[in-house]
């Protein structure tokens, strides 16, 4: 057993083409299979590393296609306003932590706003992200998170620093370096920058 957090589950609620989807990780790993264009890369762009830092400017993995929160929320959507959630759950023996991002987009204003949270526990157990009317609005989510003993953030900077300490025990500059590496590794063409001959020499 390990004391490190592992990826346990991830979820998408009312974002992009998803109504609600929960992804289960096996020993911290997740395999997405499907034909080209099925949405595997787009799903990963929404979840990781985005939910770890909330940086909307770095969602796109490929320079060929641009992903934005506004596009994810409103592409093909016929109504004026839409709210949704992205979340990732981490687990280690005796402890679960969920990190998440809430999003609200407006057709008329052509803007997408976001908020951020962590809770000690699992979505569906300690925290519910929707009710009969749909995904919770920002202030209702804030109240639910605080009631569950979690933390709510209006901006990504404080959220990112909190997640870095909570999950990895890292100072802000150290966590920035870790995130930089994660964003680099998730690029589809990252293998083209690796030279096997030079690796063999090390």
Residue tagged 């992804």 (tokens)? 23
- The pTM of this model reads 0.89
Residue-level pLDDT, tens digit, the chain, 202 residues: 468 999 999 999 999 999 999 999 999 999 888 888 778 888 988 999 999 999 988 887 755 557 889 999 998 888 999 999 999 999 999 999 999 999 999 999 999 999 999 999 999 999 999 999 999 999 999 999 999 999 999 999 999 999 999 999 999 999 999 999 988 887 766 555 555 555 455 4
């Amino acid at each position: 057993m390990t004391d490190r957090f592992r990826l346990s589950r991830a979820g998408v609620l009312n974002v992009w083409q998803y109504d609600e989807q929960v992804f289960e990780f096996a020993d911290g790993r997740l395999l997405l299979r499907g034909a080209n264009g099925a949405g595997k890369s787009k799903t990963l762009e929404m979840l990781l590393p985005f939910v770890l830092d909330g940086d909307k400017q770095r969602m796109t993995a490929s320079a060929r296609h641009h992903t934005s929160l506004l596009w994810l929320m409103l592409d093909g959507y016929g109504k004026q306003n839409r709210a949704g959630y992205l979340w990732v759950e981490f687990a280690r023996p005796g402890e679960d932590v969920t990190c998440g991002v809430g999003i609200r987009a407006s057709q008329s204003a052509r803007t997408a706003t976001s908020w951020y949270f962590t809770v000690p526990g699992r979505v569906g157990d300690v925290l519910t992200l929707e009710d009969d009317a749909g995904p919770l609005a920002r202030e209702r989510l804030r109240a639910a998170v605080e009631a569950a003993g979690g933390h709510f953030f209006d901006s990504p900077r404080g959220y990112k620093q909190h997640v870095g300490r909570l999950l990895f025990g890292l100072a802000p500059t150290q966590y920035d370096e870790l995130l930089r590496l994660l964003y680099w590794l998730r690029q589809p063409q990252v293998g083209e920058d690796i030279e096997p001959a030079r690796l063999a020499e090390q």
